[in-house]
Structure 1
Amino acid sequence: MSSVGFIGLGNMGLPMSINLATANDSKMDVIAFDANPTALNLAKEAGMRTASSVEEIGASNCSVIITMLPGCQAVDAVTPMLLESCDPNASTLFVDCSTVHPSTSRRWNEELKEKGHTRMDAPVSGGVKGATDGTLTFMVGCDDPATLQHAQPLLDIMGQRSIHCGTAGAGSATKLCNNLALAAQMLGICEAMNLGESLGVDPIVLAQVMNTSTAKSWSCEVNNPHPVVATDRGTGAAANRYEGGFGSKLMQKDLSLAVSAGADAGVALPVGVLSKELYHMATLHGLGDKDFGVMLQFLRGQKP
């Protein structure tokens, strides 16, 4: 596995690719591409080769190409470019870490298989901190467990655990379920923190109690939406005016995918639908690029 392509150097993709390129025992050559020149410069500073286009990645004879893209539309745009430029006589493993609809993963899995390539959907959980620290969880969907085994050395550099969730599309489905729960969880924590402070409870004390009680959660403990709590704990985007985390518009996008998948499966998601609408409203109010914990400020009618 001497050459690895990496497309998508955003908040998650850049630290993931840097971990690949700088791993102590790694001898792989990482070639990266992103439409953002600043991200490409950061990749180059980390020791990666950089490409000028998606097609250049495809033509670079990479044994593995990893994509971390904003959504279905980007995956549908990038994958054909890679197919057109990849060596038709060589089998490439495509590892898609993007959060997309399960049907998108299944469709591209079949098309790549017909062209002699292999593919796995491998969306992640752990946030920007997990991407930076190399502690992500990969939710893997692939038809053959051997595909995961082939990618495992790379996943082990970027994350702490890889879970085979089932056949193609199962990783994408699992990620949507996780983010559906996470979105509602964060809204609950935001409401609780807002109510507690309004009733005169010190937010630091409230968070301490919740984190040692049944409300304990990642949204309360690691990414608490209250700026005072986040600053006190030294963790969470709220300590930095909600910059650098998982954007509200991305959460809205994931919720839209989850609600769509629910409709396809005939499953009612009333909390998911309401959560989607709330994150959509926050995005319309100019908070889409802020970490989704900014919902605390949105519920208060304030801006960070």
Structure 2
Amino acid sequence: MPQIGWYGLGSMGLAMARNLQRHVASKKALNMIYSNRTMSRGDALKSLGGIPEPDFAKVVDQSNVIFTMVSNDKVHTSLLNSVLSKSPSLKDKIFVDCSTIHPNTVDASVARLAKKDAHFLSAPVFGGKPIAEDGKLVFALGGSEKAAEVVRPLIQDVMGRKVIDCGSEARRAALLKIAGNIVTVNMMEAVGESQVFAEKTGLGTGPMEELITEAFGAVAGGYSKRLTSGAYAPPLESRPGFGVSLAIKDADHAFAMAKEQNVELPGLQVARDNMAAAREYGGECLDSSSMYGILRQKAGMEFWNEKSRKGN
């Protein structure tokens, strides 16, 4: 098994890295070397055998396969800049980015690393924090098939339940992620609307949630649970499952690409506007499902339900 490096320990990244480190340990292979802006986020990973290294360039130097899971294109590019400026040799190293970034950013990373005889794979994920913790994410994987053969066993049945092969063009995996996010955000909006309707009409959120889960599947049911549990607006000292600003960023990537192709995304626009309004009202510590709070307000209810951070 190759030496694995990891950067990015947000809600998703930490859950994914923990599963990968458990796998590494079970195979009695070399422990993962990890880095993060806030190194204390990796304490749970360290307890599993992970090796902390504050300098990401040193992580790269010591690793054969390097996973990254970061918040946006700017952070991704900054990391790559630091590596290219500090690392003397990147020959045959494989970089696997699991973030949601623009396909053009992917293209640039592929080209820059190719000049150093290194490989870049785009491997964005579908699923929230609970699914990441269970190792049941769906991955899109694009890039060099030779590199993908090395990486696929580190993903399948370790961090994810399914790997969708997007071919040799890394950007296609990023495209699939953006397209999938259109479905995701629209689904959260639809679940939020139906739950507000159920509460206002007296039906109640319980029967509605049962129907959503049984008729439309566990993913839709999971989105409903974010609302009814109050997770759409978690306590300020905690982290949302997937932050509202990240979801807005992802939606904006979709809008930018849709505009280039003269494609309209009216449903996504409604959801994006509601997420932006939620962020303006409740701040950054909100989940991507927090459009629910705005839908509640529009129906004459409080933004906060009884289980959210200001519910009591």
Q: Same fold (TM over 0.5)?
A: yes
Q: Does residue 289 of the first structure (1) align with residue 268 of the second (2)?
A: no
Aligned counterparts of 1:26 and 1:217: Cα–Cα separation in 2: 37
CA distance in 2 between partners of 1:25 and 1:84 (Å):
34
Q: Amino acid of the residue matched to residue 170 of structure 2?
A: A
Please give the secondary structure, in 2, of the residue aligned with 1:160.
strand
TM-score by length of 1: 0.89
Write the distance in 2 (CA, Å) between the matches of 1:132 and 1:141. Answer: 23
- Residue 125 (structure 1) aligned with residue 132 (structure 2): no
Report the counterpart of residue 50 of structure 2 in structure 1.
48
Aligned CA distance change for structure 1 residues 153 and 220 (closer, same or farther; 3 Å): closer
Aligned to 2:32, the other structure's residue is in SS state strand
State the match for 1:71 in structure 2: 72
Residue aligning to 1:105: 106
TM-score (norm 2): 0.87
Query: For residues 30 and 87 of structure 1, do their structure 2 counterparts lie closer, same or farther at Cα, with a shift above 3 Å needed?
Result: farther
1:237 has 2:239 as partner = no
RMSD: 2.2
Distance in 1 (alpha carbons) for counterparts of 2:149 and 2:219: 32
Distance in 1, matches of 2:272 and 2:74, equals 19
d(CA) in 2 for partners of 1:287, 1:189: 22
CA distance in structure 2 between the partners assigned to 1:240 and 1:89 by the alignment = 41
Structure 2 counterparts to residues 239-278 of structure 1, below 5 A = 244-278=240-274
Q: Residues 12-70 of structure 1: CA distance to partner in whole angstroms, max 9, x if unpaired?
A: 1112111111222251321101111321333222211111122221222x111100010
Structure 2: stretches of 5+ with no match in the other structure: 298-302
Match of 1:83 in 2: 84
Deviation >3 Å, runs of 4+: 210-213, 217-220, 225-228, 236-244
Aligned partner of 1:95 in structure 2 is 96
How far apart are the structure 2 equivalents of 1:87 and 1:226? 46
The 8 Å contact of residues 9 and 42 in structure 2, kept in 1 or not, is answered as yes
Cα distance in 2 for partners of 1:218, 1:83 equals 42
Structure 1 residue runs without a partner (length 5+): 231-235
Deviations 1:111-170 (A, max 9, x none): 11121001110000121112211111111121x322211111211221111111231211
CA distance in 2: counterparts of 1:181 and 1:89, whole angstroms:
37
State the alpha-carbon separation in 1 of the partners of residues 214 and 225 from structure 2.
17
**Cα displacement (A) at 1:258:** 0.9
Number of residues paired by the alignment?
294
Displacement of 1:277 after TM fit? Answer: 1.9
* In structure 2, C-alpha distance between the alignment counterparts of 1:99 and 1:245, rounded to whole Å: 15
Asked if the contact 1:247/1:290 (under 8 Å) is kept, the reply is: yes
Tell whether the 8 Å contact from 1:224 to 1:293 is kept in structure 2 after alignment. Answer: no
Aligned residue in 1 for 2:184:
182
**Partner residue in 2 for 1:191:** 193
Q: Tell me by how many angstroms 1:286 deviates.
A: 2.4
Cα distance in 2 for residues equivalent to 1:185 and 1:3: 39
Equivalent residue for 1:18? 18
